[in-house]
């Protein structure tokens, strides 16, 4: 069945997709503002707020929230990224009203009790420390800070120990009031749902919210070319190497997706075959895309022994140069397209994926992108399109590198960033 959309009088948007022969439903309540939009000095407040949403509401204690989550019988959680915050639930269709009511209660009625806030700030500080102690993950968090240091996309999503410690209950309440404007909320559901029923529920739960203030015009970030090496006692050097990619609405996004698959998107990719299979220099090596409304990155990531780090960087440069010089082969092009199409087909069988697709489409495009349109865009990519993108990738002035491990270079910083 085709997706349906309703905009309530206050601007709150509701999108659903009924999937026949499926008994489950995935529900999401999305706030179209994320860590990117935080004022300077308030880094991490959105992430902390998301933590606090599960610590008690006006009608439920923390224990009663846990019991309500168990009553739904599925999965309830929240997530913060650089451009959105969302709460989601996966359950059976007959629990739709209970699950959506719980999500709205968490978002709009959480009380942020002082004792809970004090404890949860300690939890977030521990989360920051845990992330810093995991170099294979921490490089991915540091990379946007290096590539986009003067933009909201480059600010640390979890904030710093100092910023987290400074947040008060009043600051959280004020931030929630700013976030939860009606026209910044999107409700999505996929699976065993009836559109009119979800619209009625959303109207009762969020229909009294007011629209928000007009947003300032967004300015794309300026990419910075920089090497940041952090010395750390570990067995391997973990690294991310990035070049400018595409914004989510960029016309080149399909060609870049194909380039990503050819370069490092699977076991037949150039980087995996040369660095792991042919030379045995890394257990994991690959690439991925990180895309936002106004910018994006193409990222190569991996881990290798410190004695091989510079050699691996040299081999990456060789493979990129070869792709720049020759472009993709016909077999590579077709294999990459097939990989992409299969990945979409498999993901589309998930109600969670379809629920997220509804939200992402609405937030970025203002309409639901049919999967057929996405696949047609990839199918239309030519070898020349990929070659043209490769020609500009990872050239001088278009590279940002973050590496953490036992590095002896004079560039290396000796402590946590």
Are 189 and 232 members of one domain?
Answer: no
Are 247 and 195 members of one domain?
Answer: no
Establish if 413 belongs to a structural domain: no
Q: Given this model, what pLDDT does residue 411 score?
A: 65
Are 235 and 303 members of one domain?
Answer: yes
- Number of other residues whose CB lies within 10 A of the CB of residue 388: 15
Are 238 and 129 members of one domain?
Answer: no
| Domain termination site, one of 206, 236, 266 | 206
Are 159 and 299 members of one domain?
Answer: no
Are 193 and 246 members of one domain?
Answer: no
| Domain termination site, one of 142, 171, 206 | 206
What whole-number percentage of the chain has pLDDT above 90?
88
Q: What are 166-192's pLDDT values in tens digits?
A: 999 999 999 999 999 999 999 999 999
Q: Given this model, what pLDDT does residue 70 score?
A: 85
Q: What are 208-244's pLDDT values in tens digits?
A: 999 988 887 889 999 999 999 999 999 999 999 999 9
- Number of other residues whose CB lies within 10 A of the CB of residue 297: 22
Residues 6+ apart with CB under 8 A from 358: 3, 15, 16, 17, 188, 189, 190, 368
Cα–Cα distance between 262 and 339 in angstroms, integer?
A: 10
The domain spanning residue 140 has which CATH number? Answer: 3.30.830.10
How many structural domains comprise the chain? 2
Q: Predicted confidence band at 27 (pLDDT cuts at 50, 70, 90)?
A: very high
Are 368 and 315 members of one domain?
Answer: yes
254 token code pair: 């399909």
Q: What are 59-70's pLDDT values in tens digits?
A: 998 888 888 888
State the average pLDDT over residues 147-165.
95
Are 192 and 238 members of one domain?
Answer: no
State the average pLDDT over residues 54-59.
92
Cα–Cα distance between 156 and 124 in angstroms, integer?
A: 13
Are 335 and 372 members of one domain?
Answer: yes
Establish if 213 belongs to a structural domain: no
For residue 413, pLDDT beyond 80: no
List the end-to-end C-alpha distance of the chain, in Å, as a whole number: 49
Q: Given this model, what pLDDT does residue 409 score?
A: 63
Are 112 and 197 members of one domain?
Answer: yes
Establish if 301 belongs to a structural domain: yes
Q: Given this model, what pLDDT does residue 414 score?
A: 62
Q: Predicted confidence band at 380 (pLDDT cuts at 50, 70, 90)?
A: very high
| Domain termination site, one of 177, 206, 235 | 206
Confirm if 8 and 203 have CB atoms less than 8 A apart: yes
Active-site position among 38, 43, 50, 132: 50
Whether 50 is catalytic: yes
Which residues form the domain of 381?
226-405
Q: Residue 29: helix, strand or coil by DSSP?
A: strand
Q: Predicted confidence band at 368 (pLDDT cuts at 50, 70, 90)?
A: very high
Q: Tell whether pTM > 0.75.
A: yes
């Amino acid at each position: 069945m085709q997706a349906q959309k309703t905009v309530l009088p206050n601007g709150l948007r509701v999108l659903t997709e009924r999937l026949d022969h499926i008994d489950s439903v995935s529900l999401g309540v999305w706030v179209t503002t994320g860590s990117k939009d935080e004022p300077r000095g308030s880094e991490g407040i959105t992430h902390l707020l998301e933590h606090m949403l599960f610590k008690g509401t006006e009608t439920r204690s923390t224990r009663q929230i846990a019991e309500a989550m168990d009553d739904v019988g599925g999965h309830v959680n929240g997530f913060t990224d650089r451009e959105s915050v969302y709460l989601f639930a996966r359950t059976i269709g007959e629990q739709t009203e209970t699950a959506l009511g719980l999500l709205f209660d968490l978002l709009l009625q959480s009380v942020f009790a002082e004792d809970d806030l004090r404890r949860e700030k300690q939890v977030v500080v521990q989360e920051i420390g845990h992330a810093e102690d995991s170099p294979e993950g921490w490089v991915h968090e540091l990379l946007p800070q290096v590539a986009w240091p003067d933009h909201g996309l480059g600010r640390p999503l979890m904030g710093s120990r100092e910023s987290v410690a400074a947040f008060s209950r009043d600051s959280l309440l004020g931030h929630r009031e700013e976030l939860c404007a009606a026209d910044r909320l999107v409700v999505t559901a996929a699976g065993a749902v009836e559109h009119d029923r979800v619209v009625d529920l959303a109207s009762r739960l969020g229909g009294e919210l007011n629209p928000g203030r007009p947003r300032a015009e967004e300015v794309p970030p300026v990419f910075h070319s920089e090497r940041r090496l952090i010395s750390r006692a570990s067995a391997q050097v973990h690294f991310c190497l990035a070049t400018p990619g595409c914004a989510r609405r960029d016309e080149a996004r399909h060609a870049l997706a194909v380039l990503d698959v050819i370069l490092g998107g699977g076991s037949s990719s150039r980087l995996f075959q040369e660095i792991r299979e042919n030379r045995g220099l890394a257990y994991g090596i690959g690439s991925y895309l990180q895309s936002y409304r106004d910018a994006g990155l193409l990222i190569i990531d991996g881990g290798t022994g410190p004695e091989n780090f510079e050699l691996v960087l040299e081999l990456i440069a060789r493979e990129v140069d070869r792709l720049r010089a020759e472009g993709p082969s016909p077999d590579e092009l077709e294999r990459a397209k097939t990989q992409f199409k299969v990945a979409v087909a498999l993901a589309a069988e998930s109600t969670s994926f379809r629920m997220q697709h509804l939200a992402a489409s609405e937030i970025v495009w203002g309409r639901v992108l049919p999967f057929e349109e996405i696949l047609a865009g990839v199918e239309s990519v030519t070898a020349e399109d990929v070659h043209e993108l490769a020609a500009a990738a990872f050239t001088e002035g278009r590279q940002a590198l973050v590496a953490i491990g036992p590095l002896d270079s004079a560039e290396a910083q000796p402590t946590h960033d």
